[in-house]
A and B are shown apart, each in its own frame.
Chain A
Amino acid sequence: ETGVTQSPTHLIKTRGQQVTLRCSSQSGHNTVSWYQQALGQGPQFIFQYYREEENGRGNFPPRFSGLQFPNYSSELNVNALELDDSALYLCASSSGRIGVGYTFGSGTRLTVV
């Protein structure tokens, strides 16, 4: 059984640029959730994808968008990067929409300069 993998592990971008982060879900999981974890804070829910559709969204602006593919992998896209977007971005896969049984990936550390 494979775990949740995220790529890249680290990324440095300039303010105003766009970024795409990727997540491969654990085998057998059909749901991917994305979280933003600022330094010294708990993860904050961005959105969730279930069977290729956005299933719910947290308090993040529209410049945060995503996709889920038929193999249940997912992408997080952030446009017009701001300095405050610097954070660890975590994805978690689960089976079903309810937020139990989450398995987190190791995250992508994004630095916006």
Chain B
Amino acid sequence: GENVEQHPSTLSVQEGDSAVIKCTYSDSASNYFPWYKQELGKRPQLIIDIRSNVGEKKDQRIAVTLNKTAKHFSLHITETQPEDSAVYFCAATPSGAGSYQLTFGKGTKLSVIP
């Protein structure tokens, strides 16, 4: 089945700096890659997603890039703010029979220092 690796597990940045979180996946047929933000004690919330036919997608301060050849995708947050502090999860959806489930990475705890 699909396997998603996520790095780093923790990340501390100064307010205003950029943060980058990287994920790799194993199933070359995976075609949908969402990113979720989970604040302490709250539900995971979708912040951005990308499909395999697109290389990059941006939404204000957040961007995701996808390299299908290398089977990795990354989340980029620019001009970080204290409210960006949370745990971020990447996920992948395999195609075919497994396309009903998301396989998640283990998460990255981002701390933005004021």
Contact = CB atoms under 8 A, between A and B. Distances in A.
B106 interface: yes
A45 B43 contact: no
Given A43-B89, A90-B44, A102 B102 contact: yes
Nearest to B42: A106
A33 B101 contact: yes
- Secondary structure type dominating chain A contacts: loop
Interface residues of B, number: 25
12 contacts: A31-B100, A33-B100, A42-B4, A43-B102, A48-B101, A56-B100, A90-B44, A98-B93, A98-B99, A98-B100, A99-B32, A100-B34
Given A45-B101, A55-B100, A99-B93, 8 more contacts: A4-B43, A33-B100, A40-B106, A45-B103, A48-B101, A50-B100, A90-B43, A104-B45
Closest 9 CB pairs of A and B: A42-B104, A45-B101, A56-B100, A104-B43, A99-B93, A106-B43, A48-B100, A99-B102, A104-B44
